[in-house]
Amino acid sequence: MPKPKLLTSLALIPLALGLVSCGSDEVEMTDSTWLVTNIYTSPTEANAISDLVISQPSLDFGMASLSGFSGCVPFTGNADFDKAGQKSTVTEAEKVTFSELDFAELPEDCQGQELMVHDRLVDLLPGTFEISRKSDTEILLTKDVEDLDKPSIRLLSWVAPAP
């Protein structure tokens, strides 16, 4: 019998395939489910999400909210967007602050690679991130901290840009 988290991931595929980006080559943050492909926490640690992770972690941005999947459980939270230190829309934002994150209760079967990814996201997500567009379908969220090697999260859109 399939695991519930695998069914959840499979159920998201038609939703993601049904989304269409309009009027721009760049996929807007609110127009896609964003897959977490890399979590950079240290130059000496592996950063790619392993192929052994059955349920791909993801982020979904709203106008003032965040929801997603940690690799083990769904979560929600607030997302405050700003540009040049002033509150802004998600489309104009240079930074985003995640707060009041609520992760569902961790199941006992969350182990191995999924648990490692979950733990990294739980530790990393609260706080402020600089938003960098690396391509029309790729975003890098870099933690706004004083560290030389700033932690970051690489996101890839499930939606291709409009032709």
Count of other CB atoms within 10 angstroms of residue 49: 21
Mean pLDDT, rounded, of the chain: 84
In this prediction the pTM is 0.81
Question: 161 or 117, which is more confident?
Answer: 117
Q: Which of the four pLDDT bands, split at 50, 70 and 90, describes residue 14? A: very low
- Which structure tokens are listed for 20? 């269409």
Q: What percent of the chain has pLDDT over 90?
A: 63
| 35-to-5, 61, 149 alpha-carbon distances in Å | 15, 12, 22
What domains can be seen in the chain, in order of their start residue? Answer: 4-157 (2.40.128.270)
pLDDT digits (tens, 9 = 90+) for 43-62: 888 787 877 677 899 999 99
Phi, psi of 107, rounded to the nearest 5 degrees: -75, 160
Residue whose C-alpha is closest to residue 77's, from 58, 56, 94, 98: 98
β-strand 74-83 against 95-103: which pairing, if any? Answer: antiparallel
Q: What is the DSSP string of the chain?
A: ---HHHHHHHHHHHHHHH----SSSSPPGGGSEEEEEEEES-TTS--BPPTT-SS--EEEE-SSEEEEE-SSSEEEEEEEEEETTEE--TTT-SEEEEEEEEEPPPPTT--HHHHHHHHHHHHHSSEEEEEEEEETTEEEEEE-SS-SS--EEEEEESSPPP-
For 83-141, the pLDDT digits (tens) are 999 999 999 999 999 999 999 999 999 998 899 999 999 999 999 999 999 999 999 99
What pLDDT, on a 0 to 100 scale, did the predictor assign at position 142? 97
In the predicted structure, residue 24 carries a pLDDT above the cut 60: no
pLDDT at 160: 64
pLDDT, position 75: 98
